[in-house]
Amino acid sequence: MSEQPIHRRYVMIFAVACLAILLPVVVLNYLLGLRSLGGVAVVLEASRWQQETRGITYAPPLSANRPFKSARLFDRLPEINAVVFGSSTAMSITQEMFPPGVSIYNFSQTGNVLATVVGEVEFLLQSQPALKWFVVPFDWALGSPYWPGESRPQDLAPPQPDSPGEDAVPISQRLSDALSLPRVKNLAAILGGVARASSPYQAFGEMFMHNAGEPYRCSDGTPARDFDTIFRSTCTGFRYDGSATFANHEPLSPQRTQVLIASAVVPSSKYATALIKSGGDPNQRLLEQLAVGARVMRERGGALVLLLPPLLPGLDRALHEAPDTSAALARTRQVLAQWAVAARVVVIDAGASERFGCAANEFVDEHHALPACYARVFSRLQDYWSHPAAFAPGLWPGKQ
């Protein structure tokens, strides 16, 4: 054989082997992705199922939950008088943390920045006069309260069956997603499950052609149903009150704490960067808009509460002591304290979560606390909801 045919054969085998692996993966994951990357039909079906069963579910993708949360919020509006806003940081806040008489929906969404949250607050202020309580997280650790600019006007109307959904995700992104390792691992697990099923053909059809798996029950008896093709049978998703189960995350081990804190306080970390760049001065315009919201809620007999979310025990103190972030963080608290007094708002300062007795294993990372930690924070606020005037405006619980 001359050189060229040998090399030609080599290239062909190489190409065929690559295609034999990549093509089925792309096609099958693309099929799964048609639903797992979103779509109004799935959102509405998942929302309808949760309204009927009060079970745990979410509409894919897990990382973009605005349509699902909007649909759920509008279903829940007739029976609630409190809304929790914010990003995934606040997703652990549950109904159990509030006394009878305060009925919440946790409207927090992945990656929601303060400018958007203020837009959501304004929308609900204008359109929902029955709401009395707003809990607004102030995610200073993630930087968005320092971003300049105006609030972003929001329309929280639930998605309609004819509104665009799937088309919003470009095909290049769908293909990249189809080739990513988490999707490949998930596909391998799905195909393994299909192979082990009593009726593999039917199992394949259910997984690749249908919108959702069969309903099942979580360990506490709550019903659950998976509309996504990942995290199946793990009770991952949102509860009826809008809070997240974080069932797809592991709690932190105490050994990790020091490592994470050390990484978080270096000037290049995401926690330090925003503080350093902004000097710790929050966006005044957003604070003014929140002050207006607080006044309206007070007039309704309720309140707008600002929440500095709990951070991994020791992290707040470390940022307070680090030379690069110390002054900026102190500045943030100083500005918030002054604003709170002027706007007559209670700011729950849960940043130093160790003050509330939170432990490292009540977090999944540096800033995502699990319900156990939030329960410790809110347990000390039980009287607030019946006698908000008894709490002096300003940072609460103040210095200890």
Partner 1 sequence: MLFNSNAFIFVFLPLTLAGFFLLARISTQLAAAWLTAASLFFYGWWNPAYLGLLVASIVCNFYFGAGIGRAVAVHAQPRAKGWLIAAISANLLLLAYFKYANFFLGSFNHLTGGGLSLGEIILPLGISFFTFTQIAFLADVYAGKVREYNFIHYGLFVTYFPHLIAGPVLHHAEMMPQFRRAETYRFSYENVAVGLTIFAIGLFKKIMLADPMGGYARPVFDAAASGVPLGALEAWGGALAYTFQLYFDFSGYSDMAIGLSRLFGVTLPLNFHSPYRAVNIIEFWRRWHMTLSRFLRDYLYVPLGGNRKGPARRYLNLLITMVLGGLWHGAGWTFVLWGALHGAYLAINHGWQLLCLRLGQDPQASSVVGRACSILLTFVAVVVAWVVFRAPDLDAAVLMLKAMAGVNGLVLPDFWLPKWGIFGAWLAAHGVVFGETRDLVTGGLINWIWVLLLVVWFAPNTQQFMSACRPALMLPADTTEGRLKWTPRPIYALIAAAMLTLAIFNLHQQSEFLYFQF
Instruction: Tell how far CA 243 is from the center of its chain.
Output: 9
Please state, in angstroms and rounded to a whole number, the distance separating the CA atoms of residues 242 and 83: 10
CB of 24 to partner 1, least distance (A): 11
Q: Is 270 in the site for partner 1 (CB under 8 A)?
A: no
The closest of 323, 388, 396, 389 to 355, measured between CA atoms, is: 396
The closest of 216, 226, 164, 148 to 190, measured between CA atoms, is: 226
The CA-based angle 381-139-88, given to 5 degrees, is: 85
Candidates 66-74, 87-95, 171-179, 202-210 — which segment interacts with partner 1 by CB under 8 A? 171-179
CB of 320 to partner 1, least distance (A): 13
Query: What tokens were used for 119?
Result: 């837009």
CB of 176 to partner 1, least distance (A): 5
- Tokens 């359109």, located at residue: 127
Q: Is 180 in the site for partner 1 (CB under 8 A)?
A: yes
CB of 258 to partner 1, least distance (A): 4
Instruction: Please pick, from the candidates 100, 161, 182, 398, the single residue that binds partner 1 as defined by CB under 8 A.
Output: 182
Candidates 55-63, 86-94, 108-116, 250-258 — which segment interacts with partner 1 by CB under 8 A? 250-258
CB of 22 to partner 1, least distance (A): 6
CB of 365 to partner 1, least distance (A): 13
The CA-based angle 219-91-181, given to 5 degrees, is: 75
The CA-based angle 318-319-322, given to 5 degrees, is: 80
36's enclosing H/E stretch is helix 3-36
Instruction: Please pick, from the candidates 56, 318, 346, 373, the single residue that binds partner 1 as defined by CB under 8 A.
Output: 318
The CA-based angle 395-245-213, given to 5 degrees, is: 155
- Chain positions 24 to 53 lying near partner 1, rule: CB under 8 A, are 25
Candidates 20-28, 106-114, 234-242, 304-312 — which segment interacts with partner 1 by CB under 8 A? 20-28
CA distance to 236, 251, 273, 294, 320, per residue, from 256 (Å) = 24, 10, 22, 39, 20
Q: Is 389 in the site for partner 1 (CB under 8 A)?
A: no
Residues in binding contact with partner 1, number by CB under 8 A:
39
The closest of 217, 214, 215 to 203, measured between CA atoms, is: 214
Candidates 77-85, 168-176, 200-208, 214-222 — which segment interacts with partner 1 by CB under 8 A? 168-176
Candidates 4-12, 207-215, 291-299, 357-365 — which segment interacts with partner 1 by CB under 8 A? 4-12
Q: Which one, 126 or 253, has the nearer CB to partner 1?
A: 253
Contact (Cβ atoms closer than 8 angstroms) between residue 158 and residue 74: yes
Q: Is 263 in the site for partner 1 (CB under 8 A)?
A: yes
- Chain positions 82 to 141 lying near partner 1, rule: CB under 8 A, are none
Please state, in angstroms and rounded to a whole number, the distance separating the CA atoms of residues 236 and 365: 17
- Tokens 């509104």, located at residue: 163
x/- map, 319-338, partner 1, by CB under 8 A? ---x----------------
Name the amino acid, one letter, at 114: L
Neighbours of 187 (CB within 10 A): 20
Report the interface residues with partner 1, using CB under 8 A. Answer: 3-4, 6-11, 13-14, 17-18, 21-22, 25, 172, 175-177, 179-182, 184, 253, 255-256, 258-259, 261-263, 265-269, 318, 322
